[in-house]
Amino acid sequence: MDQSGSSTSNLFSLQSHILAEESLHPGASGDFSWIISAISLAGKAIAHRVRRARLENALGDEGSTNVQGESQQRMDLIANDILMRCLGTRASIAVLASEEDEEPTILRRGNEGGKYCVLFDPLDGSSTLDTNGAVGTIFTILRNDHLIESAERTVCQPGRKQIAAGYILYGPSTAFVITTGSGVDLFELDPFIGSFILVKRGMRIPQAKRIYSVNEAYSASFPQGYQEYLKWAHANQYSSRYIGSLCADVHRILINGGVFLYPPTTSHPDGKLRLLYEANPMAMILEQAGGMSLSGSTPTLDVQPKKLHERVPLVLGSSDEVKAVMRHLT
């Protein structure tokens, strides 16, 4: 199905899409397409486990915490294991880094063929699964610098250096959104043929939409500028939409427009979202779709990471709506 939604259009799979893009680069080896293939395989497996999570008694806390001190859900660990197993066999991957793991995993050095680093949040929004909420996998791909010995230093690259980013949203359908730096494309999983099929090419976010997405329960602990923005939004008949899953909230904004905010708070003065495997991938997607993303007053993609699990505040969405927020922060 193409962007118009015509059922008579030719079927075009995610794998065909990546191979077509690689054909534009004469020196391409096919390694990149193998990585995307592994991520799509993991997405299919996670989608299956998410649908059966209650039947398989896979909901709720595992009883452990991750490096950020957050309770790990059973499905967090299941999704993490699936991604590690699918990506761990790809010979071109040097480093894997997950939200659930304290340190990056070194698979191989550059002189052993390790060209890429893959970072991911295996199951964003997993705490909403108990109530049948939409959850997602967020990923980003970076080039490996074989001259850097430290895996953490290798992956601490500004978002501008991402060569691909995307997310897989597990909802009523399983959506795969990806950018390789030349626009944003949307695929959906057809469970009957087991393939992600292109449904929208070159997605563009609306320039403006009077919708904001933020957890207003914490607004009393937001910096003054964010509180002033919310007062302004209320006075200008904005609507509030907040799901509590970054993938689901960003997906809605990407399609319909609006702005997503995760401000600093008293308990998280540096913000709460992880720069490398949450904020940067989403920022790349939104910018490629014509939107904006800022962390503080700096474009998110220009922030220089200092550590793997670094957190940042985040404002992203339609360009006019992001600018409206920023007018209250300066």
Residues 110 and 195 in one domain: yes
Q: Are residues 188 and 70 in the same domain?
A: yes
Distances (CA, A) of 304 to 39, 276, 285: 26, 10, 18
Tell me whether residue 1 is in a domain.
no
Q: What is the CATH number of the domain that holds 177?
A: 3.30.540.10
Task: Determine, yes or no, domain membership for 4.
Answer: no
Does a structural domain hold residue 143? yes
Residue 154 resides in a domain? yes
Residue by residue, pLDDT tens for the chain (330 residues) are: 444 444 446 689 998 888 887 777 666 678 999 999 999 999 999 999 999 999 888 887 876 666 666 668 899 999 999 999 999 999 999 999 999 999 999 999 887 889 999 999 999 999 888 888 899 999 999 999 988 889 999 999 999 999 999 999 999 999 999 999 999 999 999 999 999 999 999 999 999 999 999 999 999 999 999 999 999 999 999 999 999 999 999 999 999 999 999 999 999 999 999 999 999 999 999 999 999 999 999 999 999 999 999 999 999 999 999 999 999 997
pLDDT of residue 260: 98
181, 200, 219: which is the final residue of a domain?
200
Q: Are strands 211-213 and 239-240 parallel, antiparallel or unpaired?
A: parallel
- Let me know if residue 5 belongs to a domain: no
- pLDDT for 67: 65
The domain total for the chain is 2
* pLDDT in the model for residue 165: 98
- Decide if 162 is inside a domain: yes
- Distant-in-sequence, close-in-space partners of 20: CB < 8 Å, separation ≥ 6: none
Residues 222, 133: Cα–Cα separation, whole Å: 26
Domain of 155, in residue numbers: 14-200
- pLDDT for res 4: 43
What pLDDT is attached to residue 27?
64
Let me know if residue 260 belongs to a domain: yes
- Note whether 22 and 162 are same-domain residues: yes
Domain assignment present for residue 7? The answer is no
The confidence score (pLDDT) of residue 69 equals 63
